[in-house]
Amino acid sequence: MSLTSLAYESQHSLRQWLVGRWYAHKRRSGASTLDEEWKPHRVLLVLDGLMGDSVMCTPLLASMRLAWPRAHVTLLGRRHNRELLAACPHIDAFHTVSADPYAIRYRRQVRGLRRWIASQSFDLAVIALGDQFASAIAAAQVPVRVGVKGHFLEACLTHHYDIGVARTWGPDERLNALRCLGVRPLDPSPNLWVSDPARATARVKLAGLGMRAGTSYAVLHPFGSTRRQWWPPERVSELSRVLVDRWDLDVVLVGGPETKGHALLDMTRGFDATGALSVSELVAVLSDASLVISTDSGPFHVAGALGKPLVGLFRASRQEHAGRYPSASVLFGEDGDCDVACRWDQCRGVPCRQMSRLTIEDIARAASRIHRAA
């Protein structure tokens, strides 16, 4: 982390700590008990997080709808959170944010967000991802405010839930947000929904890249939110040829705009969709795939929630989500030097030596098992 980034993170945390201390001193956290017959009418669900984390919060949505079928649920999150859940039947409205509540440069947007929350007459706010929104919700005087125990802004909340270790939490831990209100949640298996418009536009984009309609294809995602999660992109072309030769599958390479040009496909039956798809369209492309190969990243969780045949490419030091989805066969890259030189959240080598240990033949064998089982 650069000195500038470290300074920003430090002031960001310090400001939240000071606000949390102020709320604790003023005793403004509100009541902590609810009547047994209490049911909310207007619910704000804060879901401002990475794609994979957001997928793991989807059981919370289904359980909320079952518990409060008549409640109006508004999701507050970033554009990618909205696109990911655009087809979710349990969300009635979306409000998209573009700035962190503690961002110094976006004060006007933050003030507007606070005014919007106050104008909506929410009687319940549940923070699934985005703990930093707690003070804005408290300032808007939402009467019941649920968030994670142990955060700097815990004093801004009326109810708290435990997620255990931040590194290992999953869908069941996020359901504690309802358990602390006395609600018994549903099965914690993640689920996703595909919108017909997104499916249609995704097919148009694939056709524009040269793919014929009705073609069976595999999706490759060798990238990740950080470079230490990447599988070596120079091997993508050879892997794509293996998928074509052994299983007669076209290959679609996916990734964000920042990944474009970092990996080359065998263009005989390979289609580079990096930077071309919205999140909703990515969900649609994954839902129609015959096979998905992905690093431990958002597309891995999306494909797992969709129940697709899935090969996961993981670092041995980050195994916590490897067993999350029954349809996945996960490979772990191991390297003895990494065990000594690196931490779970910090890799000394780019690309990561553990990821580099995963060979094309390893992936092909896993793909054969999972594709045959499907």
**DSSP symbols for 160-225:** EE--SSTTT--HHHHTHHHHTTT-------------HHHHHHHHHHHHHTTPPTT--EEEEE---S
Give the pLDDT mean for 167-195: 94
- Check pLDDT > 50 for residue 134: yes
Closest by CA position to 177, among listed 61, 340, 68, 308: 61
Q: Phi and psi for 248 in degrees, rounded to 5?
A: 55, 40
The pTM score is 0.93
Q: Which pLDDT band, with edges at 50, 70 and 90, does 241 fall under?
A: very high
**Rounded percentage of the chain residues whose pLDDT exceeds 90:** 71
| Residue 181 vs residue 107, higher pLDDT | 181
Q: Which of 93-97, 219-223, 348-352 has the lowest mean pLDDT?
A: 348-352
pLDDT given at position 29: 46
- Check pLDDT > 90 for residue 102: no
CATH 3.90.1150.10 is right for the domain spanning 201-373: no
pLDDT given at position 27: 64
- Check pLDDT > 70 for residue 165: yes
User: Is there a common fold for 12-179 and 201-373?
Assistant: yes
Instruction: For residue range 50-79, list pLDDT tens digits in order.
Output: 999 999 999 999 999 999 999 999 999 999
The domain ranges of the chain are 12-179, 201-373
| Sheet (strand 42-47) strand order | 93-96, 72-77, 42-47, 124-129, 144-148, 159-161
Give the pLDDT mean for 331-357: 74
pLDDT given at position 174: 96
- Check pLDDT > 90 for residue 99: no
Q: Which fold has domain 12-179?
A: Rossmann fold (3.40.50)
- Check pLDDT > 70 for residue 32: no
Q: Is the dihedral of CA 131, 223, 313, 372 positive or negative?
A: positive
Is 157:334 a contact under the CB 8 Å cutoff?
Answer: no
Q: What is the pairing mode between strands 144-148 and 124-129?
A: parallel
Q: In the numeric block, which tokens belong to residue 290?
A: 């015959």
